[in-house]
């Protein structure tokens, strides 16, 4: 019985060329007899068409087959071609054959094995070799004794041993040619011991029929490029890895479902938030006023702004804010059951002149999003009433004035009337004041005194006056004045020496239509031709009262 030098397994047949376990070449058996055999069975190495240069994958797998079975198979299939046969090694003859029987023996072998040209090579006598010692070299254990392995059947399993009586098996079908697989180099045989294998034993390189305990999970995969255990069993290369069972969450359906759930949750949250926001109070206010600066509601001290609002918290205290600050001095305002509010905000001296923003807030903290711009003006501007209800600055009216005073030069009382004409102008100029004849042109007036004297006076004067915020300030300058007095048939004349102030009147309205103040006529000097008097001086001062008539 032979053992493989590479893996130590028993070789099924003494004539086998390759190990059935690892596939390494097996050294031929060494003859014991000294004389050489008369003839020699053709070997693969002696065939020129089968040499060491051919790869292991290109060679046919050789199994030991009983010669009787091979002969029977060859006889039953004489027409098989060269691709359908398998080289079968056979046991060499133990007895010496006659020289005349060798050709017939070779012809029978060629017919039985279908070898053809493989048996046509010249026969060389085997060279005797020394038998290997039975004791292994130091450091190497003796190969284990294993039962003989039966030859491989066509189905991939080993056939029963040839020693069984009545067993006849046809030769194994040739395996299909696979891509070239370089055969590992075997360590040269050294008598006296078993050399260590050059290539480590790889149990997974060739399939073996052995009992493998069941393990949970998948077996480990061979590396990519690992040659198959039996060429032709499946395509060359690593077989595809088994499909691992994916988690449902990693599948497309799982991802789509998760995405839909996220979208639904987001939409639900947005919907809840939207409903919450829609149900929250969103107060708004509106401001109206009788006075405007352009299109902006306006007001002045002592005037009010009318404010209406809605969507406040029901029955809640409302606080009005001027530029974000609560307005002091305002009466409490309460919204109704529907969240509506209406109130008049009175502007007082605490409101600074200029433009502001008005907002409102309820007790729940809900504030108007958009404020309302307003404009605070001085009294009398923007058509607002002046102090104490006096006419506005842009209002036109007439004021009848009665001057009562005394002439300081003569000591006589002085009384006079005037009609002041106020013409309103756009803010902030205020109204202008003038009299009917103070236009710089000469105007003549006649009168009769109580003593019966007739007077005729020609005057040219110029006015300059202003009305603003209920204040009256008027000045009239005398440019020309000549006087003629006729009494008892005699006429006397007087003429103004120099242009001077004829009237300066100031005062205030003390009500919507009444006013009062003081006046000063200034000093006037005239040259006269009256007997005994050539100079006439006048200077009247006093107070005045006025009444708005239109």
Q: Which of 35-39, 112-116, 183-187, 387-391 has the lowest mean pLDDT?
A: 35-39
Residue 75, pLDDT above cutoff 70: no
Place of tokens 């009562």: 404
- Report residue 21's pLDDT band, with 50, 70 and 90 as the boundaries: confident
Write down the pLDDT at residue 103: 56
Nearest to 28 by CA among 198, 205, 139, 186: 186
Pairing of strands 296-300, 372-377: parallel
DSSP state for residue 148 in the 8-state scheme: P
To the question of domain 284-377 being in CATH 2.60.40.10, the answer is: yes
- Mean of per-residue pLDDT scores for the chain: 74
Residue 248 or 498, more confident: 498
Write down the pLDDT at residue 361: 94
Residue 23 or 144, more confident: 23
Q: What integer is the mean pLDDT of 216-226?
A: 63
- Separation in Å, CA 49 to CA 16, 28, 59: 19, 20, 11
Nearest to 403 by CA among 509, 517, 543, 508: 543
Q: Which of 43-52, 327-336, 413-422 has the lowest mean pLDDT?
A: 43-52
First-to-last C-alpha distance (Å) of the chain: 151
Residue 118, pLDDT above cutoff 50: no
Residue 356 or 103, more confident: 356
Give the integer Cα–Cα distance in Å for 84 and 90: 19
Q: What integer is the mean pLDDT of 341-363?
A: 94
Tell me the three state secondary structure of residue 465.
strand
Q: Write b or e for each residue in 486-513: b if 16 or more Cβ atoms lie within 10 A of its Cβ, otherwise e.
A: eeeeeeeebebeeeeebbbbebbbbeee
Q: Tens digits of per-residue pLDDT, 390-419?
A: 999 999 999 999 999 999 988 899 999 999
Q: Tens digits of per-residue pLDDT, 249-294?
A: 778 888 888 889 899 999 888 888 877 766 677 899 999 999 999 9
Write down the pLDDT at residue 222: 65
- Separation in Å, CA 282 to CA 249, 307, 367, 368, 470: 45, 16, 7, 7, 43
Residue 67, pLDDT above cutoff 80: no
User: Domain-by-domain residue ranges, the chain?
Assistant: 1-237, 248-279, 284-377, 388-548
Write down the pLDDT at residue 374: 97
Residue 304, pLDDT above cutoff 60: yes
- Separation in Å, CA 38 to CA 89, 267, 274: 19, 100, 109
Q: Tens digits of per-residue pLDDT, 427-463?
A: 899 999 999 999 999 999 998 888 888 999 999 999 9
Q: What integer is the mean pLDDT of 288-313?
A: 94
Give the integer Cα–Cα distance in Å for 429 and 468: 8
Place of tokens 């007899």: 33
- Cis previous bond, 253, omega within 30: no
At a CB cut-off of 8 Å and minimum separation 6, what does 268 contact? none
**Secondary element (H or E) of residue 444:** strand 439-448
Write down the pLDDT at residue 331: 87
Write down the pLDDT at residue 74: 37
Q: Tens digits of per-residue pLDDT, 155-201?
A: 444 445 444 444 444 555 555 555 555 555 555 555 555 555 555 55
- Separation in Å, CA 231 to CA 50, 188, 226, 234: 19, 26, 12, 7
Q: Tens digits of per-residue pLDDT, 488-504?
A: 888 989 999 998 999 99
- Tell me, yes or no, if the pTM score tops 0.85: no
Concatenating the DSSP letter of every residue in 159-182 gives PPPTTSTT---PPPPPPPP-S--P
Residue 357, pLDDT above cutoff 60: yes
């Amino acid at each position: 019985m032979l053992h493989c030098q590479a893996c130590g397994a028993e070789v099924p047949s003494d004539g086998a060329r390759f190990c059935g376990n690892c596939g390494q070449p097996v050294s031929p058996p060494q003859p014991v007899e000294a004389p050489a055999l008369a003839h020699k069975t053709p070997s693969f190495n002696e065939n020129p068409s089968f040499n060491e240069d051919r790869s292991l994958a290109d060679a046919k797998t050789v199994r030991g087959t009983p010669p009787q079975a091979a002969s029977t198979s060859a006889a039953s299939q004489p027409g098989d071609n060269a691709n359908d046969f398998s080289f079968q090694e056979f046991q060499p003859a133990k007895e010496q054959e006659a020289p005349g029987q060798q050709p017939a023996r070779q012809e029978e072998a060629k017919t039985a094995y279908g070898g053809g040209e493989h048996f046509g090579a010249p026969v060389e006598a085997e060279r005797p070799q020394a038998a290997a010692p039975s004791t292994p070299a130091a450091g190497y254990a003796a190969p284990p004794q294993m039962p003989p392995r039966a030859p491989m059947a066509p189905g991939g399993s080993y056939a029963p041993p040839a020693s069984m009586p009545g067993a006849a098996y046809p030769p194994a079908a040739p395996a299909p040619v696979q891509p070239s697989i370089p055969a590992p180099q075997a360590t040269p045989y050294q008598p006296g011991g078993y050399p260590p294998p050059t290539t480590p034993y790889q149990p997974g390189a060739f399939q073996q029929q052995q009992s493998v305990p069941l393990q949970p999970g998948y077996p480990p995969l061979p590396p990519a490029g690992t040659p198959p255990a039996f060429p032709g069993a499946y395509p060359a290369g690593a077989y595809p890895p088994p499909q691992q069972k994916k988690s449902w969450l990693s599948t497309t359906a799982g991802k789509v479902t998760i995405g839909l759930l996220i979208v639904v949750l987001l939409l639900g949250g947005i919907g809840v938030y939207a409903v919450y926001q829609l149900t929250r109070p969103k107060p708004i206010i509106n401001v109206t006023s009788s006075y405007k600066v352009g299109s902006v509601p306006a007001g002045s001290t002592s005037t009010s702004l009318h404010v209406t609002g809605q969507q406040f918290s029901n029955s809640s205290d409302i606080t009005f804010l001027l530029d974000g600050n609560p307005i002091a001095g305002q009466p409490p305002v309460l919204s109704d059951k529907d969240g509506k509010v209406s109130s008049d905000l009175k502007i007082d001296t605490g409101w600074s002149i200029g433009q502001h923003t008005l907002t409102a807030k309820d007790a729940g903290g809900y504030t108007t999003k958009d404020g309302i711009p307003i404009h605070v003006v001085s009294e009398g501007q923007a058509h607002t009433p002046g102090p104490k209800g006096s006419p506005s600055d842009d209002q036109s009216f007439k004021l009848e004035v009665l001057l009562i005073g005394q002439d300081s030069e003569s000591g006589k009382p002085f009384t006079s009337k005037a009609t002041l004409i106020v013409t309103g102008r756009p803010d902030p100029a205020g109204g202008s004041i003038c009299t009917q004849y103070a236009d710089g042109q000469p105007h003549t007036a006649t009168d009769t005194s109580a003593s019966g004297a007739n007077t005729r006076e020609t005057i040219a004067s110029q006015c300059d006056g202003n009305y603003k915020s209920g204040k009256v300030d008027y000045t009239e300058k005398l440019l020309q004045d000549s006087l003629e007095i006729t009494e008892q048939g005699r006429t006397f004349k007087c003429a103004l020496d120099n242009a001077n102030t004829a009237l300066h009147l100031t005062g205030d309205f003390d009500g919507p239509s009444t006013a009062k103040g003081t006046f000063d006529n200034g000093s006037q000097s005239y040259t006269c031709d009256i007997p005994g008097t050539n100079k006439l001086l006048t200077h009247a001062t006093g107070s005045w009262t006025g009444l708005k008539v239109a």
